[in-house]
Amino acid sequence: MLKSKILVVDDNEDVRVLVKKILDPSYTVEAVASAEECLEKAWEFKPNLIILDIMLEDSSGYELCSQLKSNEELKNVPVIFLSAKTGSNSRITGYKLGAVHYLEKPFEPEELREVANTVLRNLKVDTQLEVVDYNDISLNIPSQEVLIKGEKIHFTSSEFKIIHLLLKNAQRVLSREKILNHIAPGNDRVNDRMIDTYISSIRRKIRPSNFAIKSVYGEGYKIVSL
């Protein structure tokens, strides 16, 4: 059975060595030190997951993440940020750019291992079905494309995960915590504001459809047919 491939991007050699040591037994891991090397290696290596430092010598990790997400070949590769930058603003910025998780340095090896395991496991489950139709909303799982009444609407990676989760659980109330755990498994330090921001954006995007997202006071959100 082929191992999933992970690309680590960090300008600190000690961190690169540590992350490879943590993940190597289970995955095929490559590590590079710069944004330029990342873009070259990503094309060649075709990783299933990228673990990305924010403060690189030749670029911001945020900027690099944007470049990856704007590339047709790489946009669906999940990104985990690994950074010494702390605080909810840094994490929220990362998630808005499409990252699936944000770990602060210093990190626990077991936490990094479990986050990587969960992200890659979810990726395998979601790609078993190629295209899923929900009335007039169609989701292409591998490409993360959304068609609403036949028209392609752009969703960020996190927005796609949320709309997929809501549609799979139509009529059921999902707590903010459940949604957070779906897009950022294991991270209990993310501010709930992020979910509210995503939901507002998704509401606008699905307005032409026969679905609407309802707020349930004190509970969370659910998607309903109109």
pLDDT tens for residues 72-83?
778 889 999 998
Residue 123, pLDDT score: 73
Residue 191, pLDDT score: 63
pLDDT category of residue 216 using cuts at 50, 70 and 90: very high
Q: Which of 77, 72, 121 is nearest to 100 (CA)?
A: 77
Q: Are residues 9 and 96 in the same domain?
A: yes
Q: Are residues 29 and 64 in the same domain?
A: yes
Residue 129, pLDDT score: 53
Integer Cα distance of 123 and 129 in angstroms: 11
Q: Are residues 110 and 144 in the same domain?
A: no
Any idea what the CATH number is for the domain that residue 169 is in? 1.10.10.10
pLDDT, average across residues 119-133 = 70
Across 126-219, the runs of DSSP E, i.e. the strands, are 131-134, 137-140, 145-148, 151-153, 211-216
Q: Which of 137, 140, 112, 145 is nearest to 126 (CA)?
A: 140
Q: Are residues 213 and 144 in the same domain?
A: yes
Q: What is the mean pLDDT of the chain?
A: 88
Integer Cα distance of 156 and 125 in angstroms: 19
Q: Are residues 98 and 141 in the same domain?
A: no
Residue 8, pLDDT score: 97
Q: Are residues 98 and 151 in the same domain?
A: no
Last residue of a domain, one of 125, 155, 170: 125
131 compared with 51, residue with greater pLDDT? 51
Q: Are residues 120 and 145 in the same domain?
A: no
Residue 69 above 80 pLDDT?
yes
Q: Which of 10, 11, 8, 32 is nearest to 20 (CA)?
A: 8
Q: Are residues 152 and 52 in the same domain?
A: no
Tokens at 183, concatenated: 């897009």
Domain that holds residue 72: 5-125
Any idea what the CATH number is for the domain that residue 95 is in? 3.40.50.2300
Last residue of a domain, one of 101, 125, 149: 125
Q: By the 8 A CB rule, do 80 and 51 touch?
A: yes
Residue 185 above 90 pLDDT?
no
Q: Are residues 49 and 98 in the same domain?
A: yes
Residue 86 above 90 pLDDT?
no
Summarize pLDDT for 133-176 with one digit per residue, the tens: 888 999 988 778 899 999 999 998 889 989 999 998 988 999 98
Q: Are residues 149 and 191 in the same domain?
A: yes
199 compared with 132, residue with greater pLDDT? 199
Last residue of a domain, one of 80, 101, 125: 125
90 compared with 73, residue with greater pLDDT? 90
pLDDT category of residue 71 using cuts at 50, 70 and 90: confident
Summarize pLDDT for 4-13 with one digit per residue, the tens: 899 999 999 9
